[in-house]
Copies of this chain bind each other. A is one copy, B any other.
Amino acid sequence: MTNLSTEMLSLITSIPFLATVEAENAPIVLSGVLLSLVVIYLASKLGAEVAKNFDFPPVLGELVAGVIVGVSALHLIIFPEGGLTSADSVIMTILQWINHLSPTNLASVFASQSEVISVLAELGVIVLLFEIGLESDLRQLKEVGYQAVVVACVGVVVPFAAGTVGLMMLFHTPAIPAIFAGAALTATSIGITSKVLSELGRLTSKEGQIIVGAAVIDDVLGIIVLAVVASLAKTGEIDVSNVIYLIVSATVFLIGSILLAGIFNKTFAAVVDTLKTRGNIVIPAFIFAFFMAFLGNAIHLEAILGAFAAGLVLDESDARNELDELVKPIADLLVPIFFVTVGARADLSVLNPAIPENRAGLLIAIFLVLVAILGKLVTGWAVFGQPEINRIAIGIGMIPRGEVGLVFAGIGSASGVLDKPLEVSIIIMVILTTFLAPPFLRIAFGNPIETPTTGENNPEPALVEKSQPIP
């Protein structure tokens, strides 16, 4: 089946006919993208405003709104995965009704539109991490560096070990899927936690810096674990040279960026001053951010890691305050696509206990959720030499798995390592940790440092902070 499909795919993509089909469908793909974006923006704005009214972080509202418009409920934003076809998509049904497409063309439009929205969401998380990098103070991150490393290591080792051993002992899961599921518990979602921290005005607090630093480090550690486990699943043995390569490249990448910051941001300021045409700040900044993201991807780490490093570097640039203002509307437009699609892709129907085949998964899910929460909660007590630090806030801040956990679930199910109950359990773990962390983080931190409702023109406390000059 797979071989036959590969051949057919090769044949299809090599014939000029496909290009013709794509050219004819181009305006309809654009229609689909535009309508999807309208739905995503409406959902994100409604969700954020409702959450704000109930005193929840807006990002939680965006996620819930994403779940509502996604595969779990309204079927407006869905993707061709998990057996879903264009017939399941309300937007495709609308396009079909307007354009009277053939089933072939409709499937092709659905695939293209989903691809574009997926990449826009990925650009959204890249811009989000770039903005977070810009907002992070490099010197402060250096101060909490050791603390962040310890927190990250504890937060990787504890859930990985407890998850893997627990699955093998309690549920008699075979070793390789158990290791894979354990690995899926390792990586904290920096995106969600950072946005909540930013909303609470705590991104630059010691706790915030440790969480973000540790999340970056355990992202790297998590991806190394994923690469190792994925190659373990393929070959049956750990590829030592690959492990060494990944560890070395990740280290060189981040430390190299921090060391280059001093040199590069002078060059950047000089370039910006030379340019006389429109976009003289924003275009060089995004050339750098996208190139670093590409580099992160190219050396088999993650694009978001490169974007974050780019933000850290430009954070020390002279044009920083102006750049912050210019990146804001771009982030406002791209970041909601990421959060809404994360919600939209999460299929809550796998939580339904009425369906018998979900029950085995539910037990595993409950176990994984407990390990995921407790395994990260303990990290707060790994911080040393800081008696008055808010340990529970650090632990809670490390809990959400978000997009990174979904990457694990996606690769695990694509490679066939994970069976259905285990895959479903990882998704449930991702959803619950993502949904639980923001309100608990809010409770752990108490009230925001600056009340978010002080002024309608400055709804974001973190951005108010940023407009103040650096001491």
Contacts and interface: CB of A to CB of B under 8 A. Distances in A.
Nearest to A6: B104
A392 B28 CA distance: 38
B13 A279 contact: no
A298 B21 contact: no
A263 interface: no
A13 B103 CA distance: 10
A290 B414 contact: no
Interface string A100-119: 00111001100110011011
Given A9-B108, A21-B9, A45 B283 contact: yes
Interface string A1-37: 1100110111111111111111110111111011101
B22 A18 contact: no
A363 B356 CA distance: 74
B23 A81 contact: yes
Given A279-B336, A283-B333, A329-B329, A17 B2 contact: yes
A267 interface: no
A49 B278 CA distance: 10
Contacts of A277: 45, 48-49, 52, 58, 459
A249 interface: no
Interface in A213-263: none
B85 A283 contact: no
Contacts of A275: 45, 49
A352 interface: no
Nearest to A458: B278
A286 B337 CA distance: 13
A280 B102 CA distance: 40
The interface centre, meaning the residue of A24, A123, A278, A328 with most chain B CB atoms within 10 A of its CB, is: A278
Interface in A308-354: 326-330, 332-333, 336
A42 interface: yes
Interface in A119-137: 119, 122-123, 126
B456 A273 contact: yes
B14 A8 contact: no
A353 to B, nearest CB: 26
B282 A332 contact: yes
A115 B116 contact: yes
Given A10-B104, A115-B112, A410-B23, A332 B5 contact: no
A173 B26 CA distance: 29
Interface string A152-186: 00000000000000000000000000000000000
A44 interface: yes
A470 interface: no
A111 B414 CA distance: 21
Interface in A390-409: none
A284 interface: yes
A52 to B, nearest CB: 5
Contacts of A328: 278
Given A41-B287, A280-B456, A453-B276, A108 B11 contact: no
Contacts of A5: 12, 15, 17-18
B45 A459 contact: no
A76 interface: no
Nearest to A35: B294
A35 B297 CA distance: 11
A96 to B, nearest CB: 12
A456 B31 contact: no
B23 A85 contact: no
B283 A44 contact: yes
8 contacts: A12-B12, A31-B303, A45-B287, A48-B278, A58-B277, A276-B456, A327-B329, A330-B330
